[in-house]
Every structure is written in C-alpha cells, then in structure tokens.
Amino acid sequence: MNVKINLTINGKSYSDEVDSRTMLALYLRDELGLTGTHIGCDTSSCGTCTILVDGKAVKSCTMLAAQADGSNVTTIEGIAQNGNLHPIQEGFKEKHGLQCGFCTPGMVMLAADLLDRNPNPNEQEIRHALEGNYCRCTGYHNIVESIQYAAEKMNG
C-alpha cells in the first residue's frame, strides 16, 4: 500500500508517494540520491544511517519514511552551509576522526545532535553519546577529539 509523504529535507520540500514499508534510509538513498546516509546493518546497531529528524538523531534504517511525514530532516549532505564545512566536519578533517569514512556521516550527525543538546560535552559524555555508533577502523580517540574540536569552535 502506498502513502503520501511531505518532508523538508536539507531545506528543500518533497512530496512523494511511497510504499508504506519503505525505510527512511532507503527513501533518502534510492529515491532522492542522498547516498551519504549509509546502511551498515539494517538493525539500528551500527549507526551509519544516523540523520536528524526534527533536530534529533535518528537511525534511519529502522524508521519508516511514512513516520517522517511532516518532519524536517537533515542528512550529511545538508549540514555544510554555503560551501563551508560544518565545524563538526572540519573537526573530523583536522583531527583525523575518520579512516575508511563509512561511519563518518552517522558520527557527524550524532555529534550535531549531541552538541545541540550539550554545547560543551566532556570526553565521557562524548564517548557515552557514541555508544550506539560503531567505527571498525579507529579506536574512537580521534573521533572524540574531532567532536571536542567542533565544540570549541562552535562556542567561540
């Protein structure tokens, strides 16, 4: 059965008809071509599909597109502004917070939610926030430093 959805994604309005069983991650990737949202597990265990829905971090591989109807969605493609990296993206670049890059979009989006709720988290708070997102390449040390860098830059 198809359902009609209306969303704002990265500042642009979309109105589509989708199968009621379509996962938000697949809608973003397959229908809109926003392939920065990665799919790693389909069970919400890894966090590579993390996006912001109405400003909150959501694992989009387990959320139906229909559940996002009426929402404001931000993906990794929408976090940079006017061609400038977001401070979190800049932090990942400057502090070497990525290796293969597969988990990076989800980590960046999770960090955006964290820093919105807590503009100055300590190391323990950052590590706690990262518990639902897996990186198979790093020891998380540089990811934590990347988020600390972003917090400092965003706080002036």
CATH number 1.10.150.120 given to 87-154 = yes
pTM of the model: 0.95
Taking residue 9's Cβ as centre, other Cβ atoms within 10 Å add up to 20
Count CA atoms closer than 13 A to 48's CA, side-chain side: 19
Radius of gyration of the CA atoms of the chain, in A: 15
Matching CATH number, 2-78, of 3.40.50.300, 3.10.20.30, 3.40.50.620, 3.40.228.10: 3.10.20.30
Strand order in the sheet with 72-74: 12-19, 2-9, 72-74, 50-53, 56-59
Please report, for the chain, the start and end positions of each structural domain, with discontinuous segments joined by +: 2-78, 87-154
Tell me whether the CATH fold assigned to 2-78 matches the one assigned to 87-154. Answer: no
Q: Convert the pLDDT of each residue in 16-65 to its tens digit.
A: 999 999 999 999 999 999 999 999 997 889 999 999 999 999 999 999 99
Residue 55: how many CB atoms within 10 A of its CB? Answer: 12
Q: How far is CA 27 from CA 20, 58, 65, 105, 106, in A?
A: 11, 15, 7, 17, 17
